[in-house]
Amino acid sequence: MKAVVHDRYGPPEVLRVAEVDRPEPAEDEVLVRVHATTVTRTDIHMRAAKPFFWRFMLGLRRPRRRILGLEFAGVVEAVGSSVTQYEAGDRVFGLRNGSHAEYVCVRESGLIARIPDNLGFEEAAAVCDGMSQGMNALRAGRVGPGTRVLVYGASGSCGTATVQLGAYLGAHVTAVCNAKNVELVRSLGAEEVIDYEREDFTRNGQTYDVVIDAVAKHSFLRSRRALAPNGRYVATDRLYNFPLAWITKWIGRKKVVFDVTGYERDDVLLLRDLLDAGKYRAVVDRTYPLRDVLEATRYVESWRKTGNVVLTISHDEKGARQ
């Protein structure tokens, strides 16, 4: 099968499309023929091994995982002998390392669910990662009905998810983004939208119970004046937030929270239900064929994307890429 591989850490140019062995499902796994996947910020970190700590998980000198990709949407090709929930032909989506490939194996009890009938592959591939990050951030912020929450970087993958989920949880959501995305973010459920190019939310006199930095471009120190007493600043990246979280746990009323919760199966199942009910939607900026993964990756690294960037994989009747 074809897959996007990298044999060393570095810039986008280390990526290439190559022939690799097709995986075979274990007895508790399903083999998914992938029709769409995404390029995420996590893929960027893993490919470049930046920050350096990624090397402790992926390999110090070279990547042990040659194939990137987290999100997938496709069709079940085959199932293991003990699988009971899925069968060949089922349309599924979810999260699995190594999804920049024509096929991927996923445990039946893993991060996988059926695609709602009202959703295509490209949309289904572009929802899980942002939703999982957004839900973890909202949990860390203890967001619920009536919470005043501000989402900084509301037009990215995590940001568009956090706005929708915050509204679903009953919070009062204020979104911060650039001018071109104001109406999009408002349509996702934000009650107020601030164009950061025209207004600094830390200087408008408003305060929030929770500030979520969905793009790791703000900071606790810059956000302090916008936090209500006992407010929580939720970080989604930047290692210096770890010591800040420890210090503010013991000192001061305003807290830094750095959530490190992983992906949860229950979130994928909740997402399926929200999509099916029309209470959540995918935001796709651009779509590229798998062979244009370098161009897609460069676009993600430009910080200009809105929502998600999708890679599509076409198959002929025998399951081979065209």
Q: Which fold has domain 2-127+282-312?
A: Quinone Oxidoreductase; Chain A, domain 1 (3.90.180)
Tell me the two tokens of residue 191. 């009650």
- Kind of pairing between the strands at 208-213 and 148-152: parallel
Hey, where are the domains in the chain?
2-127+282-312, 130-258
Measure Cα distances from 15 to 61, 71, 132 in Å: 17, 18, 26
Tell me the two tokens of residue 296. 């897609």
Confidence category of residue 241, pLDDT binned at 50, 70, 90: low
SS3 266: helix
Q: What is the pLDDT of residue 322?
A: 31
Q: Percent helix, strand, coil in the chain (nearest 5)? A: 30, 30, 40
What mean pLDDT, rounded, does the chain reach?
Answer: 92
In whole angstroms, what is the distance from residue 163 CA to residue 72 CA? 23
Q: What is the pLDDT of residue 242?
A: 66
DSSP secondary structure letters along 274-312: HHHTTS----EEEEEEGGGHHHHHHHHHTT---BEEEEE
- pLDDT above 80 for 270: yes
Instruction: Write the pLDDT tens digit of every residue in 15-54.
Output: 999 999 999 999 999 999 999 999 999 999 999 998 787 8
In whole angstroms, what is the distance from residue 252 CA to residue 229 CA? 10
Instruction: Write the pLDDT tens digit of every residue in 160-199.
Output: 999 999 999 999 999 999 999 999 999 999 999 999 999 9
Give the distance, in angstroms, between the CA of residue 306 and the centroid of all CA atoms in the same chain: 13
Percent of the chain with pLDDT over 90: 79
Instruction: Please answer whether residues 91 and 72 qualify as being in contact, where contact means their C-beta atoms are separated by less than 8 angstroms.
Output: no
Instruction: Write the pLDDT tens digit of every residue in 87-123.
Output: 999 999 999 999 999 999 999 999 999 999 999 999 9
Q: What is the mean pLDDT of residues 201-205?
A: 92
> Which CATH number describes the domain made up of 130-258?
3.40.50.720
Q: What is the pLDDT of residue 217?
A: 82
Q: What is the pLDDT of residue 238?
A: 67
Please tell me if the domain spanning 2-127+282-312 has the same topology as the one spanning 130-258. no
Instruction: Write the pLDDT tens digit of every residue in 125-162.
Output: 999 999 999 999 999 999 999 999 999 999 999 999 99
